[in-house]
Amino acid sequence: MLARIQKSMKEKDEGFTLIELLVVMIIIGILAAIAIPVFLNQRKNGYRAAVKSDLKNAAIGVESAAADQEGDYSKVGLTAAAALPAGVEFTPSNNVAVLVNKVAATDYCLSATHSTLGTTEIWYLAKGNGGAPTSTKPAGCA
The one-letter amino acid code at 96 reads V
Within a domain: residue 42? yes
pLDDT one-digit tens code per residue, 111-131:
888 877 666 778 888 877 677
Range of the domain at 68: 17-129
Contact call for residues 138 and 72 (beta carbons, < 8 A): no
Residue range 1-50, pLDDT digits in tens: 677 777 766 776 677 889 999 999 999 999 999 999 888 888 888 888 88
Q: Report pLDDT digits (tens) over 76-94.
A: 765 544 566 556 666 677 7
> For residue 3, is it within any domain?
no
Between the two ends of the chain, the Cα-to-Cα distance in Å is 80
CA distance 127 to 71: 13
Q: Is residue 50 part of a domain?
A: yes
Q: How many domains does the chain have?
A: 1
